[in-house]
Amino acid sequence: MPAPQFADPAPPILTIDPFSPECLNDPYPAHERLRDAGPVVWLERYGVWAVGRHAEVKSVLSNWQTFCSSAGVGLSNYRRETPWRPPGLLLEADPPIHNRARSVLTKILSPPAIKALKTQFEVEAVRLVDELVARGSFDAITDLAEAFPIKVFSDAIGLPLRGRDKLLPYGKLIFNAFGPRNALFLEAMAEAEHFQDWVAESCSRGALTPGMLGAQIYAAADAGEIALDEAPRLVRAFISAGLDTTVSALGNAIYLFGLFPEQWALLRDDPALARGAFEEVLRYEAPFQTFFRTSTEQTEIAGQTIGADEKIMVSVGSANRDPRQWQNPDQFDIKRRALGHVGMGVGIHACVGQMIARLEGEVVLSALARRVRTIEITGTPERRLNNTLRGLKSLPVSLRTIEH
């Protein structure tokens, strides 16, 4: 796309394609170019702005009035293009619409509610780890990173048992759709007919286990906190946002501990480090790498004029490795204070499910740390390319237990 007439001074212009297979496979060289080119740059390929430094990422995400979500948090601008599906009530909404849905989910996912899920999550993590330890060798993505959230998160929502295999293809489409209409999106879309009916049916009141998180959304609708027809869309928000992200994070964690055995030794020797270790995984390999905002008026980012109704790509993956913010950012160090990373977002849209995600990460890592001496990568890991998510498709590993 040709560059528009920029106000003086002209911005740095980059020709990189962050959604090309090369960049998705290894985004870090492009991140460095993005950060080094300036606080805000013009991405010629898509005719959008991009921020990749921690300070600007934080300030854009903190200012929902100027950088809104209602025009879509993907590359597509809903003010000019028809959304591929009805926009989400939460992620793709601004206040005041956003506030109502957000307060319902914040209440349902409150600290006491998460505490109530903890024992169940721990029991399942120990059961799965025992099974995997007994097998010795397995695929850490399908058998662990996918298996665990599909079980515990779906149970927590109260989703039916039948059809859960459709959750990951559904998430694949959601997250590819935040990018351009490239081959990844088209491939995910072509699979959509196999799961759309199941997703719609599973978000209905009758399909959900009474008392669980999904049913609580309907209870909030019965209490008049949201409209009844908004309830299935909020259940859908859970399954859109809450599964593939956690799958990616757990897979990235096992991969990193396989790559950096000295970091595994630290965790094994002190399983209480599990929570901080998971935080460092989210910093080092942000599962939700990029999303977008749209300017509501002419504004400035770091002195650069940004016109009204322009798209800004926000690279949290890059901000999490910004040397202006972190010492030795490319070093995976589970003892660092990783809090302050932006992998869970910032501001009013910051991840509403982050306590569940952290709980999942913590229980899995501590169950492994109590039983596993070493994690060895035994085959070539295969990356799962996605326009938004960073994760693996396959990771053959072999475990040696502490008892041996």
Query: Where on the chain is the footprint of ligand HEM (CB under 6 A)?
Result: 69, 73, 90-91, 102, 237-238, 241-242, 245-246, 249, 282, 287-288, 291, 343-345, 349, 351-353, 356-357
Between 184 and 359, CB nearer to ligand HEM:
359
Q: Closest separation between CB of residue 287 and ligand HEM, Å?
A: 4
Interacting residues of 221 by C-beta distance below 8 A, sequence separation 6+: 227, 228, 230, 231
DSSP H stretches of helix in 82-166? 97-108, 111-135, 147-157
Residue 133 vs 356, nearer CB to ligand HEM: 356
* Minimum distance of ligand HEM from residue 166's CB (angstroms): 18
Tell me the closest approach of the beta carbon of residue 319 to ligand HEM, in angstroms: 11
Smallest distance, ligand HEM to C-beta of residue 357, A: 4
Give the nearest distance from C-beta 239 to ligand HEM in angstroms. 8
Q: Is 51 helix (H, G, I), strand (E, B) or coil?
A: strand
Can you read off the two tokens belonging to residue 56? 């600007």
The SS3 of residue 102 is helix
Say whether 111 sits in a helix, a strand or coil. Answer: helix
Torsion of CA 142, 149, 167, 243, to 10 degrees: -110
Whether 142 and 394 have beta carbons less than 8 Å apart is answered as yes
Shortest distance in whole angstroms from residue 343 CB to ligand HEM: 5
Distance, in Å, from the CA atom of 306 to the CA atom of 51, rounded to the nearest integer, reads: 12
- Identity of the residue numbered 330: D
CA–CA distance, 299 with 312 (Å, rounded to integer)? 12
Instruction: Find the shortest distance in angstroms from Cβ 174 to ligand HEM.
Output: 11
Cα 52 from Cα 30, distance rounded (Å): 10
Tell me whether residue 91 or residue 173 sits nearer to ligand HEM (CB atom). Answer: 91
Question: Is the Cβ of residue 65 or residue 305 nearer to ligand HEM in the bound state?
Answer: 65
**Burial letters for 175-197: b for 16+ Cβ neighbours within 10 Å, e otherwise?**
bbbbbbeeebbeebeeebeebee
Query: The dihedral of CA 46, 49, 55, 58: what is its sign?
Result: negative
Dihedral angle computed from the Cα positions of residues 81, 82, 84 and 86, in that order, rounded to the nearest 10 degrees: 130
Q: Please state, in angstroms and rounded to a whole number, the distance separating the CA atoms of residues 27 and 29.
A: 6
DSSP for 165-183, please give it: GGHHHHHHHHHHTTS-SSH
Nearest approach in angstroms of CB 247 to ligand HEM is 9
Residues 6+ apart with CB under 8 A from 181: none
Q: Which residue's CB atom is positioned nearest to ligand HEM?
A: 353
In the complex, the smallest distance separating the C-beta of residue 54 from ligand HEM, rounded to whole angstroms, is 14
Which is nearer to ligand HEM, 133 or 145 (by Cβ)?
145
* Least Cβ distance, residue 71 to ligand HEM (angstroms): 12
